[in-house]
């Protein structure tokens, strides 16, 4: 089980569905948690869909830790700004390319996916691709 602060190297922020995230950088995706959105099925934690106006996050499997962080807040820091986001989903690091996960590749082991509201609050433009230094911790 991972504990304490997680420092994540600079990463690219990509629009979900953008296949260019494969490569040397880890991806942090903008994910829609609404029904029919690019996040696939309902959130793993509660089996529901959520508004993109909420501060929400999905963590890669190791950090998701079999749901131990479900419905708990994490603190995400980028661009000198901080936001609290509720963990509602897993970005599966094992299963991929299935309808349930919107046919996406399995997530790398160090991914924080978040709703558009999170990235907007962190002043990261929704469709901008670039490197950002992101850290997160349990709130």
Domains of the chain, by residue range, sit at: 29-138
pLDDT at 73: 97
Question: What does the pLDDT look like over 47-75, one tens digit per residue?
Answer: 999 999 999 999 988 889 999 999 999 99
For residues 103 and 82, give the distance between their C-alpha atoms in angstroms, rounded to a whole number.
Answer: 31
Contact partners, residue 107, CB within 8 Å, separation at least 6: 60, 61, 91, 92, 93, 96, 113
Tell me the average pLDDT of the chain.
74
> Of residues 86 and 100, which shows the higher confidence score?
86
Give the pLDDT score at 13.
43
Q: Quick one: pLDDT at residue 47?
A: 94
29-138: CATH superfamily: RlpA-like domain (2.40.40.10)
What's the pLDDT tens digit per position in 14-45? 434 333 322 222 346 677 888 887 777 899 99
pTM score above 0.95: no
């Amino acid at each position: 089980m991972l504990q304490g602060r997680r420092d994540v190297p600079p990463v690219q922020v990509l629009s979900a569905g953008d296949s260019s995230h494969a490569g040397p950088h880890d991806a942090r995706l903008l994910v829609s948690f609404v029904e029919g959105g690019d996040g696939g099925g309902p959130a793993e934690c509660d089996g529901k869909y959520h508004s993109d106006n909420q501060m929400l996050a999905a963590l890669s499997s190791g950090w998701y830790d079999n749901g131990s962080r479900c419905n708990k807040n994490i603190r995400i820091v980028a661009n000198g700004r901080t936001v609290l986001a509720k963990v509602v989903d897993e970005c599966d690091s094992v299963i991929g390319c299935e309808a349930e996960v919107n046919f996406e590749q399995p997530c790398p082991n160090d991914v924080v996916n978040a709703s558009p509201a999170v990235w907007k609050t962190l002043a990261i433009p929704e469709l901008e691709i670039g490197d950002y230094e992101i850290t997160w911790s349990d709130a």
